[in-house]
C-alpha cells in the first residue's frame, strides 16, 4: 500500500465513522431536546405551583377570590415575579404535619 492508501484506510475512514456517530448523537435530536432537571446542575426554570382545580366559590362578578387571595402571598404570577411571603402576612392555619428531606 502506498502512503496515500494507508492514510485513507487508517485515518480518514475511522475519522468519517467517528464523525457520523458524533453527528448522530449530538446533532440529531439536539435541537428539540427539552431542557430538564439534572441533579447537581443549577435549576434555572420558572417556579411553578400546581393546583388540580380552580378554587371554588366564584364571586358574583365572576372573579375568583380564592385565586386572588392566593395570588397575594408567594404565589407566582404568570410573569414569574414572586411576592415574597415575608412582605405579606398570611393567617396561620394552625399546627401542621408533614415531612422533609434532602437528596
Partner 1 sequence: MAPGDSPEIPASQLTSSQLTSIANGAAAAGPFSSRQLFRIDEALTAADRETGLTFSVYVGGLEEPLRASAETMLDALPAPEDSVLLAVSPNQRALEIVTGIRAAKRIPDRACELAGMSMRAAFQGGDLAGGIVTGLRMLADRAGTPRPASR
Contact set with partner 1 (CB under 8 A): 32, 34-39, 42-43, 45-57, 66-67, 69-78, 80, 84-86, 90-103
75's grid cell? 404565589
* Residue (62 or 98) nearer to partner 1, CB: 98
Burial of 29 per CB tally in 10 Å (0-12, 13-18, 19+) = exposed
Give which of 57, 80, 83 is closest to 71, Cα–Cα: 83
Report, in Å, the least distance between residue 24 CB and partner 1.
17
Cα 19 to Cα 27: distance, rounded to the nearest angstrom:
11
Report, in Å, the least distance between residue 42 CB and partner 1.
6
Report, in Å, the least distance between residue 19 CB and partner 1.
26
Amino acid at each position: 500500500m502506498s502512503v496515500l492508501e494507508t492514510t485513507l484506510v487508517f485515518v480518514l475512514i475511522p475519522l468519517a465513522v467517528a464523525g457520523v456517530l458524533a453527528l448522530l448523537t449530538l446533532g440529531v435530536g439536539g435541537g428539540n431536546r427539552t431542557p430538564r432537571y439534572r441533579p447537581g446542575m443549577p435549576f434555572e426554570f420558572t417556579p411553578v405551583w400546581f393546583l388540580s382545580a380552580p378554587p371554588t366559590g366564584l364571586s358574583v362578578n365572576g372573579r375568583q377570590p380564592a385565586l386572588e387571595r392566593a395570588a397575594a402571598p408567594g404565589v407566582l404570577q404568570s410573569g414569574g415575579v414572586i411576592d415574597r411571603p415575608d412582605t405579606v402576612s398570611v393567617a396561620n392555619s394552625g399546627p401542621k404535619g408533614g415531612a422533609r428531606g434532602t437528596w
